[in-house]
Amino acid sequence: MALTLKQIAELTGGEVVGDPAVVVSRVAPIRDAQPGDITFIHNEKYAPFAKETKASAIIVSPELRSVGGSLIVARNPYLAYAKTVAALMEEPLRHWRGVHPTAVVAESARLGRDVSLGPHVVVEADAVIGDRVAILASAYIGHGARVGDDTVIHPNASIYSDAIVGKRCTIHANVSIGSSGFGWAPDGDRYERIPQVGKAVIGDDVSIGAGSVVNRGALGDTIIGNGTKIDSLVIVSHNVEVGENCLFVSHVGVSGSVKIGNHVTLGGQVGVAGHLEIGDNAQVAAQSGVSHSLAPDRVYFGSPARPIGHAKRTIAAIQKLPELRNEIKHVQKRVLEIAALLDKDVGEMSAASLGDEKPS
């Protein structure tokens, strides 16, 4: 595949600076790029490399339009880069086409048009598979589960009975959707299982990374909204409701019955306690622990998660604690000295304070 800058500008909604007839056939990082490549700058700190790169063209933001050389100027250069890679470089997903003879499809299951089922795929009774769905080797679609048009399910993924997966989703290898939530009623020292009779419902255009888990609901459903992207090894527990276009980075854990708005970002290893609400556009930095509901439109950090300004001041203060302790010791000493000068019983009281080294 090869494209002219004119074609890339049309594809990305960008503008050509320089010769629109320049041809590129590959996208490469700015320091590795060779003639015939197009590269990109989506962070100003890489701007100095624009002079040195061997690339034939660069995708840049409007601020960098005078950086020199042949350019595609785009308002959102990262998006333009994504579209250019898709046009120039992406190979089609390689998988078995059609229904492999070793796939096991129950008689009552319904398959759409142009469905691909790889070797050893299992589609159980009453399952419904949309058009152009691709299910790769050894993946499992349980009884009554539904998979929307154009969705891809990777090897060894397990979709439990009655789960619903939307259109144009990507479900990666070893994902589990619709497993029972962690619901146990204490009965003395032992635990009685609380039946989990709800479903897992995944919207359209959702991506779920390898090894992640979405539980079915206890009574109602667990819901993942349209366009939400989930990284690897994430757990979304029973009855969680996630809005649209959220990002959950790897190792996120969301406890039961949490309600998450639209366009929320949870950084890697973030944990969210049960029954909380997180407002639209909230962003929670990596490793934070969310123990209270979070208002929309703010950035949070820490464990417990707090608005990031406060959290960062707290962390800065923690880092200076050893010296703070020294300062207090200095002040205590000064106060003792002053008290001695004044020759009053104040001095005695201060000494008692200084000696108080045990935790209260």
By CB under 8 A, what part of segment 198-257 binds a copy of itself? 205, 207, 209-213, 215, 219-220, 227, 229, 231-233, 235, 237, 244-245, 247, 249-251, 253, 255
- Residue selected from 65, 97, 292, 334 as contacting a copy of itself according to rule CB under 8 A: 334
DSSP track, 181-222: P--EEEETTEEEE------EEE-TT-EE-TT-EEEPPSSS-E
**Which of positions 121-150 make contact with a copy of itself (CB under 8 A)?**
122, 124-125, 136-138, 140, 142-144
Residue 342 makes contact with a copy of itself by CB under 8 A: yes
- Residue selected from 132, 161, 298, 299 as contacting a copy of itself according to rule CB under 8 A: 161
d(CA 145, CA 176): 13
For residues 198 and 216, the answer to whether their CB atoms sit within 8 Å is: yes
- Residue 106 class from Cβ within 10 Å (0-12 exposed, 13-18 middle, 19+ buried)? middle
3-state helix, strand, coil in the chain (%, to 5): 20, 25, 55
Residue 150 tokens read as 């154009």
| CB closer to a copy of itself out of 20 and 273 | 273
**Which of positions 176-195 make contact with a copy of itself (CB under 8 A)?**
176, 179-180, 182-187, 189-195
- To a copy of itself, the closest distance from the beta carbon of 203 in angstroms equals 12
- To a copy of itself, the closest distance from the beta carbon of 358 in angstroms equals 7
d(CA 243, CA 169): 16
- Residue selected from 25, 34, 108, 303 as contacting a copy of itself according to rule CB under 8 A: 303
d(CA 209, CA 204): 15
Catalytic residue among 95, 100, 172, 238: 238
Q: With contacts defined by CB under 8 A, how many residues of the chain interact with a copy of itself?
A: 137
- To a copy of itself, the closest distance from the beta carbon of 206 in angstroms equals 11
Strand order in the sheet with 176-179: 104-105, 122-123, 140-141, 158-159, 176-179, 213-215, 235-236, 253-254, 271-272, 289-290
Q: Catalytic residue at 238?
A: yes
- The mark string for 32-71 relative to a copy of itself (x by CB under 8 A, - otherwise) is x---------------------------------------
> Would you please indicate which residues are annotated as catalytic (active-site) residues?
238
